[in-house]
A and B are shown apart, each in its own frame.
Chain A
Amino acid sequence: MTNLLLVGLILVLALAGGHLVKVLRVPEVVGYFFVGLFLGPSFSNILDHDAVTTLEVFSEIALGLILFSIGSIFEFDNLRKVGKRSLELTGYVMAGTIAIVTLALLLVGSDWRVALLLGTIATEISPIATILVLREMRSSGPLTDSVNNLLALNNVGCLAVFGVATFLVRLIGGGDAGTSFLSFFGREFFLLVWGLVGSVALGVILGYLLAAWGSRVDEHGEVLILVLGMILLAVGASHLLGLSSLIATMTLGATLINLARESRHLFDVLGKTDPPLYAIFFVLAGAHLEVESLKVIGVAGIAYTIARMLGKIIGAWIGASRLGYPDVVRNYLGVSLVAHAGVAIGLALQLKSIFPEVADTISAIILGSVLINEVAGPMLTKLAIGRAGERHVEPHHGAFEEI
C-alpha cells in the first residue's frame, strides 16, 4: 500500500472513529487512537512497522505544532501573574508522582534503578492529548488555565528530572569502563545542561527570526508557510544538535509571543490548520502499540499505572491546597493530567542505549501503561473538565447533530 493511500485511509478512518466515540461521550482522540490500534500490528497490520516509521514525520510535526502553541503560555504578563504559583504547583505534582511511583515500584520488588527511572518518566503528561481534549470542549476557567500552565512547565521539568535521574543512575552504577570518573561526569553533566539550555537557545534564535519576519507578513497563506517552516526548522535542528525538539519548539512559541504581541494571529492560523496532523499523530500512536503489550505489563506495570495516577492526584491536591487554588483545581487537576504518551515511550527507548539491562523491563511497563493511559487519560480529562463546569460546548455538538 502506498504511503499516500495510507495517509488518506488514516484521516478518513480517524474522522469516522472520532465521530463514533463521540456518541459514547468519549474524546475524539481516543477514537483516533482506537483506529490506530485497529490499523496497527495488533489487528489488521495495515500500518506495519515500516509504514509507522515512514509516517513518523507527521507525528513530529504535530508534536512541534502543539508545543509551539503551548509556548504561548510563557507570555510575560501571564508569567508575572501566575508564574511562581504555577511553577510551585508543577513542582508538587511532579514530586508527588516521582515519590509515589518510585515507592510503589520498590514495594513490588523492582530494581531501584528501574523504580527511579520509571518515577521520572511517570511525570510525563501527554500535552497533545490533553490540549486536544481542552480544545474539543472549548473549555475555559481556572482548571483549564492551570492545566495549560502546568503542561508547559511540566514538559521542561519532566525532561530535566529524567536527565538528572539517568545521570544519577549512571553515576552510582559506575561509568563506562575505560573512562575516568571526571571525564565521564563532565560529559554527562554537559549533555544534561546542553539538552535544556541548548534547546532553549535554539528556540530563542528561531523565535527572533520568526518575529522579525512575521511582522512583515500579513497574508494568511504566507504566515502559515513561515510558521510551519520555523517549527520544522526547530524540530530538525534539534535532531541535528542532539537537543530536545519539545523544548525548542515551545521556546520558539514563547519567544514569539513575547516579542510580538500582535503575533496571536500566528497561533490562531495554526489552530485552524493542524487537526489533520493531530489525527495522524494519534492514529500512529495507536499503531505503535500492541495490545499484546498488556499481557506482559505485569505487577510492576499495574503498580506503575495506578501509582502514577495517585501521584498526580495527591500531588495536585496538596499543591493546590497549599497554594490557595480554587477547589475545582484542587479536586480535578490531578485527574486531568493522566494522559501519557509518545514522549514517555521516547524516553524509555533512550534508555536502551544507556541501560540495556533494565531498558526492556521499563519499555514493557511503559508500553503497556501508555496503552491504558492513552485511552483513560483523555476520558478522565474530559470528565474532570466537565465536572469542573468548564465545558463550553454541548456534549453532543458535532457533525452528527448538524446533519
Chain B
Amino acid sequence: MNLKNLAHNWRYHLIILAAAVLTIVVGGYIRRSISGNEKSENSLLRTLQTEVQQLRSTLRRNELKTIQQDVAELAMGVQPRVVSIVGAKESRRPIVTLTDALPESRRVSIRDERPGGSGLLLDTEGHILTSAGVAEDPSGFIVRFGDGTERPARLLATDPAERLALLKLDRIDGLPAAAPLNAPAPPQIGGWLVRLGRGADGRNSLSMGLLTTIRKDLSGEEVYAIDAQFAPELDGGPAIDLDGGIVGINIAHGGGVTIPVDRVIRAIDRLRSRAAKSPRSAIGIELQDLTGEMKKMLSVEHGALVTRVLPEGPAAEAGIEPMDAIIFTGQEPVNSAAALLERIHAAVPGSALQLTVLRSGTTRTIEVRTVQQSSADRAGRIQPDSEFGLSLFRQRDPDGVRIVAVEPASPADRLGLRAGDRILSVNGRQIRGFAEFQRASTEPVQLWLVRRGDQTFGITIRQEGANR
C-alpha cells in the first residue's frame, strides 16, 4: 500500500476527516447516554449524600454537646446548695481478719455511714430540707457540702405526711448562698427536669428526664413522676427545670416521686413552726457529774448529783433534794449530768419520769411529772453579758465560775480574759459558782483572782453602773 499516493487523493482526506467526526459525534453521544451522565451524577449524588450525612452527625453531636454543657451549667446554679446527709452514729467495729481477733488497741473507730441521701440548704441560718427517709437517724447527722466541708446537724422536725424533714446545722459559718424557695411556673408534662443530689463522698449526682405525669398520692395531693433514674443519693435532693428553678423535692418513698415546690413551701412553714414550738420538758433541778471519788464514796458506778432544786418546781414537789444522786431514769442508767438533762428535755411535757435516787445509802424511786420548759429557761445555762462581754457557766461550782466565752473587742476581751479561765475570788471573797459571783460582783471596783491553767493572776475591774 502506497500511503504517499493515497495522501494526494483529496477523497482520502475527506473520508478520514468524516470518519473522525462521525466517531466523535456518535461516540460522544453514546458515552453521554450510557455512562457519562449516570456515572458522574451518581457519584456526585453519592458524595453529596455522604457529606450531608457527615454534616448531620456532626450537627447532632454538637447539639448533644450543647445540651450536656447546658445541663451542667444549670445544675451548677443549684448544686452548691445540695448537700449529702448521713447519720452520724459512730460505731466501733473491729477489723475482721482471717487469722485472729485483733488486740483492742488495733480496733479502729469506723464512722458507720449509711447510704443516707441528699438535702437542700434553705437559708443561711443553716436549715436543711430533706426527705423524712433520710432523716431517720436520731443520733444526729453529718452534712457534707460540695466543697468537701462537713458540718454536724440535728433534726428539728419531721412532717410524716409530706415525708419531709427539717435539719439544722450546728455551725453556719461560710455557708453557700441560698435563696428561699419560691414557686416557679409549674412544669408542663413532657418538660425536661433534672434531679440533683450529692453522694456520701461529696460528689455531684444528677439524672434528667421528662415530667411523665402528675399523680395524686395517698393524701390526695399532687406529686410529679419524672422519667429520670432515681438513685438513693437523690433522695431528699431538689428537682430543677430548664430555667434552673427548683420545682420540687425528690422523695424515694413510693418509687421515687417529686413533691411539688408549692407543697414543699407549705410543709417548710409547718416544719419551722413545729420546730419552734417543739416543747421541752423540765423538772427544776441543777445537776453535776459524779466525780470518781464521789462514786467511790456512794459506791455507785454511774449517776448525776443534784446540786440545786428549784423551789416550787416539780422536783421539789416530788421530794428530790440537793445532794441526791440520780442513778436511773426508768431502766436506763444515768451516765452523766448532761445525758440526764437531755433525757428530761426530750420527755413529753406532763409525762411522768421514774427517777431512781440514792440518798444516804438507800435508793428510792421517785416519780416526777415534767412541765414544759419556759422560754426563759430555754435560753440555757449559758448567758452572755452583752455589756461586759463575758459568758459565764451558770452552775454552782466549788472551784469558782468558769468563763465560757469572751466576746471579741469587748471590755472583758481588752482585759485579757479568755474562755476557759476561772474566776476564783472577787475582792477576797471566794466564789463557788455563778450565783455567788453574781452576789459578789456588785461593787464598783473589784479585784478578781483568775486562774488560767496552772497560773493565777489578778485583774482590776472598774464599773460605771451598779450592775457591772
Contacts and interface: CB of A to CB of B under 8 A. Distances in A.
B7 A76 contact: yes
Interface string B11-48: 00100110111011001101100111000000100000
A191 B4 CA distance: 33
Interface in B255-283: none
A190 B3 contact: no
B274 to A, nearest CB: 76
Interface in B47-82: none
A185 interface: no
> Is chain B's interface secondary structure helix, strand, loop, or mixed overall?
helix
Interface residues of A, number: 19
Given A190-B31, A258-B7, A353-B43, A204 B36 contact: no
Interface in A199-248: 200-202, 204-205, 208, 241-242
Nearest to A207: B20
Contacts of A201: 19-21, 23-24, 27
A200 B22 CA distance: 12
A194 interface: yes
A259 B35 CA distance: 35
A208 B13 CA distance: 9
Nearest to B24: A201
Contacts of B13: 208, 259
B20 A205 contact: yes
Contact of B16 (A80, A197, A198, A204): A204
Nearest to B4: A76
A187 B20 CA distance: 21
A249 to B, nearest CB: 15
B7 A198 contact: no
A198 B23 contact: yes
Contacts of A197: 23, 27
Interface string A253-270: 000001100000000000
B46 to A, nearest CB: 10
Contacts of B16: 204
B3 A80 contact: yes
Contacts of A204: 16-17, 20
A241 B31 contact: yes
A218 B177 CA distance: 95
Contacts of A353: 43
Contacts of A208: 13, 17, 20
A80 B2 CA distance: 10
Contacts of A258: 7
> Is chain A's interface secondary structure helix, strand, loop, or mixed overall?
helix
A187 B35 contact: yes
A194 B21 contact: no
A200 B17 CA distance: 11
A197 B27 CA distance: 9
A127 to B, nearest CB: 23
A205 B24 contact: yes
Contacts of A259: 13
Contacts of B34: 187, 190
B24 A202 contact: yes
Contacts of B28: 198, 241
B23 A190 contact: no
Nearest to B1: A80
Nearest to B23: A201
Contacts of A200: 20
Nearest to B13: A208
Contacts of B4: 76
B36 A198 contact: no
Contacts of A80: 3
Interface in A104-153: none
Interface in A345-370: 353
> Which of B7, B24, B43 neighbours the largest number of chain A CB atoms within 10 Å of its CB?
B24
A242 B31 CA distance: 8
B6 to A, nearest CB: 9
B24 A241 contact: yes
A97 to B, nearest CB: 30
Nearest to B36: A242
Nearest to A198: B27
A194 B27 CA distance: 7
Contacts of A187: 34-35
Contact of B3 (A76, A202, A205): A76
A189 to B, nearest CB: 11
Interface in B64-105: none
A200 B34 CA distance: 21
B314 to A, nearest CB: 97
Nearest to B22: A201
Contacts of B21: 201, 205
A205 B17 contact: yes
Interface string A319-356: 00000000000000000000000000000000001000
B17 A194 contact: no
B155 to A, nearest CB: 71
A76 B7 CA distance: 10
Contacts of B24: 198, 201-202, 205, 241
Contacts of A202: 20, 24
A240 B172 CA distance: 83
B28 to A, nearest CB: 5
A364 to B, nearest CB: 23
Interface string B214-254: 00000000000000000000000000000000000000000
A387 to B, nearest CB: 36
A198 B21 CA distance: 9
Contacts of B30: 190, 194
Contacts of A191: 31, 35
A205 B22 CA distance: 10
B3 A194 contact: no
A105 to B, nearest CB: 29
Contacts of B19: 201
A258 B17 CA distance: 14
A93 to B, nearest CB: 26
A351 B28 CA distance: 22
A6 B20 CA distance: 40
Nearest to A188: B35
Contacts of A194: 27, 30-31
A190 B32 CA distance: 12
Interface string B424-453: 000000000000000000000000000000
Interface in A77-105: 80
A76 B1 CA distance: 12
A176 to B, nearest CB: 10
A259 B3 CA distance: 12
Nearest to A203: B20
A208 B16 CA distance: 10
> Which of B19, B20, B21, B36 neighbours the largest number of chain A CB atoms within 10 Å of its CB?
B20
Nearest to A183: B34
B350 to A, nearest CB: 92
10 contacts: A190-B34, A191-B31, A194-B30, A197-B23, A198-B23, A198-B28, A200-B20, A202-B20, A204-B20, A241-B31
Given A191-B35, A242-B35, A258-B7, 12 more contacts: A76-B3, A187-B35, A190-B30, A190-B34, A194-B27, A197-B23, A198-B27, A198-B28, A198-B31, A200-B20, A201-B21, A208-B13
Interface of A: 76, 80, 187, 190-191, 194, 197-198, 200-202, 204-205, 208, 241-242, 258-259, 353
Q: Give the 6 A-B residue pairs with the shortest CB-CB distance, closest first.
A: A201-B23, A201-B20, A204-B20, A198-B27, A76-B3, A205-B20
